[in-house]
Structure 1
Amino acid sequence: MNPTQIREHLQTFLSPSEIPSDQTAFLLDQRKRYTSENCLVVQPQSVENVQKIVRFCSEHRLPITPQGGNTGLVGGSVADGGIVLNLGKLNQIRHLNLADNTITVDAGCILHHIQTAATEAKRFFPLSLASEGSCQIGGNIACNAGGLNVLRYGTMRDLVVGLEVVLPNGEIVSHLHPLHKNTTAYELKHLFIGSEGTLGIITGATLKLFAPAATTETAWVGVDSIAQAVELLTQIRNQFAERLCSFELISAYALELSSQYSKLSQPVAAEWHVLIELTDSLPRDDLGDLLATYLYENGYENSVLAQSEQERQNLWNLRENISESQRVLGASIKHDIAVPIAQVADFVETCSADLQKNYPEMQLVVFGHLGDGSLHYNCFLPIVDNRVYDEYEDAVNSIVYQHVLANHGTIAAEHGIGSLKTHWLPHVRSADEIALMRVIKSQLDPHNLFNPNKLLPKNTA
């Protein structure tokens, strides 16, 4: 069934506003690597219409690709035929429950809007991402997003209390009541968190809220090595415990790029840099002094403490603008990886040496969330024309992932597997694990209609 025929059928139960007249913006992925083809984009305005669309697809054996804010980097929300189901018009805050410290939302709610609703209620929703102005919470859940505050609050898997999911047969599994303890059989919500839309379409979620920070202290510390940064992390955790909210690692080159892009001075000169943020739900005048004193007494004098909110924002801008600042280098081969924190230094040292032995002209931009061991490890080959750099990608990935796996890490820490990394999944998950995943997929989606050819490798058996 072609897109015109699909449109004719869907027009019998969807309103004109639920089938965008201009579909272009939904067809190209964030990195402009993948384009949806031979498909129709729909934007249902109710959960009931999501069910109707799914039942229609099931009846006609049409693939259905869920899409949130389309901010992913691994080709997870592009389609080859069938329907792209964009959740952008399912975007209401359903309920705020201060007694249970939860907020119930539609899956198409933009992350920033949820943060704002929590703030207005004098609460805090901790998920924080560079794309928070456009990414949608359903996509965040489907990819088990992490972001800047994982160290204290965990990933989306830790922040979801309950889910509402439309299954491939059009039925709903819904547990949105804020039940904080439940030991009744399997916890099914964890099947869908991180499943990248391959098992069901998330239409609603109940999320944890927290007390807002009454005190925030932010420091920028220059260190000689990643090993020294890891030692500092260990010490700060021991000294300040749950007040440690963020612990970001930035290479000298990444800082140089961001400083030029942001038109902000580099806080200190060093080979490696750490951005530390402590928060407390109580007003405390002494927390900054305690942090400054601790850094000085333990040999971390090459540091600055933000003295105002503007200075704090400047420090965070230097961190958050790294991604944009890289664009001057041209096309990149990006790696969203994680290794145990104790292995980060060894990974960076050995992998970087191996890459630059094979590609002496390569420029590496390294930064990320040292507090949970995840890194953005981006490789640039200036001599390679942007149009042909894909030819180098498998070779570069082979080197990087070899070192990731040697250090007991993972090839996907935040953005998922999508289309880009399916052939790498057998390197990080055992044959038995993948077989079990296939069983789960076939039971819930026997016709392989939900986001086909994503996450799981092609079955060659």
Structure 2
Amino acid sequence: MNTSDWQQALRSLLKESEIIDDAAALLIDQRRRYTGQADMVLQPDSVSSVQAIMKFCHEKRIAVTPQGGNTGLCGAAVPQGGVLLNLSRLNRIRQLNLADNAITVEAGCVLQAVQQAAAKADRLFPLSLASEGSCQIGGNIACNAGGVNVVRYGTMRDLVLGLEVVLPGGELISHLQPLHKNTTGYDLRHLFIGSEGTLGVITAATLKLSARPRTLELAWVGVESIERAVALLSLVQGRFAERLGSFELISRFALQLSSEFSGLGAPLAADWHLLLELTDSVEREDLGDLLADFLMRNGFDNAVLAASDAQRQDLWTLRENISASQRRLGTSIKHDIAVPIERVAEFVENCAPALQEAFPGIEIVVFGHLGDGSLHYNTFLPYILSNEAYRFEEPVNQIVYRQVLACGGTIAAEHGIGQVKNHWLPSVRSEAEIAIMRAVKAAVDPHQIMNPGKLLP
């Protein structure tokens, strides 16, 4: 069957409103690095439509690329022909279950909408990302998103109680019951979390909720080294335990960029900055005093505690605007990495000189989630402001990833592999592990139609 024939046949299975004819914006990734091409762009409005699409494409051997909010940074949602399956219209909140502290939502729900629905029920959905106003739950699950609250609540993998997935052949697997214990064989949901659309189409999920914080205390702390930052992390965890919600690391250069971009003054002067937040589900007036006293007694007196909601918001704005503030430096070669927390300093201290020797004048912006060991390590080549910088991506990556691997780290902490890093997968996964991944892929997707060219090398 030629392309025009199967396009017509597929049209006959769907509503006209589910077929998108002007979809240029959906074919370009957020960084404008990849421009894909698709023979059809579809936006189904029901799970039954997703099943019909997948069954048809499976029978006709047509490639399918699932897509959520298209906010990814690794090119995983950019199609390479076939069908682009955008899930944005599957955006209903199906159930809120306070007895089980759970919410069941469809894959196209925007993260912020889920947060707001939880807040209306006096609960917290703790996943928090810079893109939460546009990223979607299905994509968050597909790349096992992390964000600023991982140190307390874990990644998306820790927040999913159940999944509904359409398999490549159109079969529906639905386990959306909010079961907190279930030991009936292999837990298949974990195959799909982090699979980047290579095994099936996530259509809905049941997610864990938590108590809404009644007390929040935010401190901005300046330190002279990452070693000192790690020492503070250990002390805070020992003193405040699960009340530590976020522990963010920001370099002096990253703060300078964000301060200029945001129109907000730097809270204090230091080589390295920490944004740490304590939360408690009960109202208490002493937590701020306890934190201030703790910092002083342990020698971390170069600190500012947020004295109001407005000041708290300003401090978070300085952290959240780092990504946007980098644009004036041009195109960055980004690295979403993680190493054991005790080796973060070693990585940063060894990597920068190696890059500067190979690329004199290179600028490096370092920030990220020190509480879980993951960093955004972004590099800017001097005088190259356009996407021409990507010509140097491989030699830059060779240096950065060599240092990451030497510290026992990973090349993908929370953004996934996509098509940017799939050739690097063998550096962090053994031949045996990749063989298992390929065997799972072959069993679930025998015709290899799901998101081809992504994740697996």
Please classify the TM superposition score into its range, dividing by the shorter chain length: over 0.9
Measure, in 2, the Cα distance between the counterparts of 1:214 and 1:83. 46
Aligned residue number for residue 77 of structure 1: 77
Aligned pairs for 1:285-300 (under 5 A) are: 285-300=285-300
Matched, 1:411 2:411: yes
CA contact (8 A) 2:329 2:385 kept: no
CA contact (8 A) 1:224 1:272 kept: yes
Aligned residue number for residue 25 of structure 1: 25
Aligned residue number for residue 271 of structure 2: 271
Aligned residue number for residue 179 of structure 2: 179
Measure, in 1, the Cα distance between the counterparts of 2:2 and 2:293. 67
> Equivalent residue of 1:81, what SS?
coil
Compute the displacement of 1:21 (Å): 2.9
Aligned residue number for residue 117 of structure 2: 117
Measure, in 1, the Cα distance between the counterparts of 2:358 and 2:30. 29
Measure, in 2, the Cα distance between the counterparts of 1:237 and 1:209. 22
Aligned residue number for residue 280 of structure 1: 280
Aligned residue number for residue 47 of structure 1: 47
Give 2:381's aligned amino acid: L
CA contact (8 A) 1:3 1:40 kept: no
Give 2:218's aligned amino acid: T
Measure, in 2, the Cα distance between the counterparts of 1:277 and 1:334. 26
Compute the displacement of 1:383 (Å): 2.2
Structure 1, unmatched stretches of 5+, are none
Compute the displacement of 1:99 (Å): 0.4
CA contact (8 A) 2:21 2:41 kept: no
Name whichever of 30-39 and 105-114 sits farther off.
Answer: 30-39
Measure, in 2, the Cα distance between the counterparts of 1:41 and 1:150. 34
Q: Deviations over 1:252-285 (max 9, x none)?
A: 0000000000000100100000000000000000
Aligned residue number for residue 327 of structure 1: 327
Matched, 1:210 2:206: no
Aligned residue number for residue 454 of structure 1: 454
Compute the displacement of 1:333 (Å): 0.4
Give 2:274's aligned amino acid: V
Compute the displacement of 1:33 (Å): 1.0
Compute the displacement of 1:384 (Å): 2.6
Give 1:167's aligned amino acid: L
CA contact (8 A) 1:3 1:38 kept: no
Q: 1:171 to 1:436 in 2, by over 3 A?
A: same
Measure, in 1, the Cα distance between the counterparts of 2:414 and 2:24. 26
> Equivalent residue of 1:206, what SS?
strand
Measure, in 1, the Cα distance between the counterparts of 2:214 and 2:276. 17
Aligned residue number for residue 233 of structure 2: 233
Measure, in 2, the Cα distance between the counterparts of 1:77 and 1:5. 25
How many residues align? The count is: 457
Measure, in 1, the Cα distance between the counterparts of 2:268 and 2:63. 52
Give 2:10's aligned amino acid: L
Aligned residue number for residue 423 of structure 1: 423
Give 1:159's aligned amino acid: L
Measure, in 2, the Cα distance between the counterparts of 1:389 and 1:112. 33
Give 1:280's aligned amino acid: D
> Equivalent residue of 1:388, what SS?
helix
Structure 1 runs, 4 residues or longer, greater than 6 Å off: none
Measure, in 1, the Cα distance between the counterparts of 2:247 and 2:445. 40
Compute the displacement of 1:3 (Å): 5.9
Q: 1:330 to 1:3 in 2, by over 3 A?
A: farther
Measure, in 1, the Cα distance between the counterparts of 2:433 and 2:55. 30
Aligned residue number for residue 371 of structure 2: 371
Compute the displacement of 1:388 (Å): 2.2
CA contact (8 A) 1:2 1:38 kept: no
Measure, in 1, the Cα distance between the counterparts of 2:385 and 2:251. 25
Give 2:442's aligned amino acid: S
CA contact (8 A) 2:38 2:84 kept: no
Aligned residue number for residue 127 of structure 1: 127
Aligned residue number for residue 394 of structure 2: 394
Matched, 1:103 2:90: no
Name whichever of 340-349 and 4-13 sits farther off.
Answer: 4-13
Cα RMSD (Å): 1.0
Give 1:86's aligned amino acid: N
Q: 1:237 to 1:101 in 2, by over 3 A?
A: same
Measure, in 2, the Cα distance between the counterparts of 1:100 and 1:385. 50
TM-score of the superposed pair, with normalisation by structure 1: 0.98
Q: Deviations over 1:354-385 (max 9, x none)?
A: 11111120000000000000000000012235
Q: Deviations over 1:71-104 (max 9, x none)?
A: 0000001111110000000000000000000000
> Equivalent residue of 1:127, what SS?
coil
> Equivalent residue of 1:90, what SS?
coil
CA contact (8 A) 1:6 1:40 kept: no
Aligned residue number for residue 88 of structure 1: 88
% identical aligned pairs: 64
Compute the displacement of 1:124 (Å): 0.4
Structure 2, unmatched stretches of 5+, are none
Q: 1:424 to 1:55 in 2, by over 3 A?
A: same
Q: 1:131 to 1:5 in 2, by over 3 A?
A: farther
Compute the displacement of 1:213 (Å): 0.2
Q: Deviations over 1:38-87 (max 9, x none)?
A: 42110000000000000110111000000000000000011111100000
Name whichever of 401-410 and 30-39 sits farther off.
Answer: 30-39
> Equivalent residue of 2:39, what SS?
strand
Compute the displacement of 1:5 (Å): 4.0
Compute the displacement of 1:217 (Å): 0.2
Give 1:171's aligned amino acid: E
Aligned residue number for residue 9 of structure 1: 9
Measure, in 2, the Cα distance between the counterparts of 1:129 and 1:305. 23
TM-score of the superposed pair, with normalisation by structure 2: 0.99
Aligned residue number for residue 262 of structure 1: 262
CA contact (8 A) 1:2 1:39 kept: no
